Amino acid sequence: MPVLGCPSMSEPVWWKQLAVDGRARSGVLHTPHGVVDTPAFMPVGTRASVRALDSADLMGVGTQMVLSNTYHLMLRPGSERIAGLGGLHVFMSWDGPILTDSGGYQIFSLAPDLTEDGARFRSTYDGSIVNLTPEGSVRIQEELGPDIAMVLDELIALPAPRPQVEAAMRRSLRWAERAVAVHRRSDQALFGIVQGGTDVELRAESAAKTAELGFAGFGIGGLSVGEPDDERNRAIDATVEELPTTKVRYVMGLGDMEGLLDAVARGVDLFDCVWPTRLARHGKVISFGGDFNIRRAEFADDPAPLEIDCDCHTCSSYSRAYLRHLQVTSELSVHRLISIHNLWVTQQLLSEARSAIAHGRFEGFRKEVANARRAMRDSYGDRPDGPG
**Per-domain residue ranges of the chain:** 37-273, 285-379
As beta bridge partners, residue 14 has 30
pLDDT of residue 216: 98
User: What's the pLDDT at 94?
Assistant: 98
pLDDT for 1? 36
d(C-alpha 145, C-alpha 158), whole Å: 32
* Entry pTM: 0.94
According to the model, what pLDDT value does residue 210 have? Answer: 98
Q: What is the pLDDT of residue 385?
A: 53
**Domain 37-273: CATH architecture, name and number where available:** Alpha-Beta Barrel (3.20)
257-264 and 229-240 helices, crossing angle to 10°: 30
Phi first, then psi, for residue 101 (nearest 5°) are -70, 155
Residue 183's pLDDT is what? 98
Q: How far, in Å, CA of 52 to CA of 62, rounded?
A: 16
Find all residues with CB under 8 Å of 285, minimum gap 6, and list them.
Answer: 279, 291, 292, 293, 294, 306, 307, 338, 341, 342, 386
pLDDT of residue 374: 84
pLDDT of residue 324: 98
pLDDT at position 116, please? 98
pLDDT tens-place values along the chain, 388 residues long? 334 445 555 799 999 999 999 999 999 999 999 999 999 999 999 999 999 999 999 999 999 999 999 999 999 999 999 999 999 999 999 999 999 999 999 999 999 999 999 999 999 899 999 999 999 999 999 999 999 999 999 999 999 999 999 999 999 999 999 999 999 999 999 999 999 999 999 999 999 999 999 999 999 999 999 899 999 999 999 999 999 999 999 999 999 999 999 999 999 999 999 999 999 999 999 999 899 999 999 999 999 999 999 999 999 999 999 999 999 999 999 999 999 999 999 999 999 999 999 999 999 999 999 999 887 766 554 454 554 3
Q: How far apart are CA 302 and CA 284, in angstroms?
A: 16
**Length of the chain (residues):** 388
In angstroms, the CA 328 to CA 79 distance is 39
Among residues 178, 36, 18, 50, which one has the least CA distance to residue 102?
Answer: 178
Distance between CA 199 and CA 312 in Å, rounded?
Answer: 41
pLDDT, one tens digit per residue, over 181-221 is: 999 999 999 999 999 999 999 999 999 999 999 999 999 99
Contacts of 127 (CB under 8 A, 6+ apart): none
**What positions carry a catalytic annotation?**
101, 272
| pLDDT (0 to 100) of residue 381 | 47
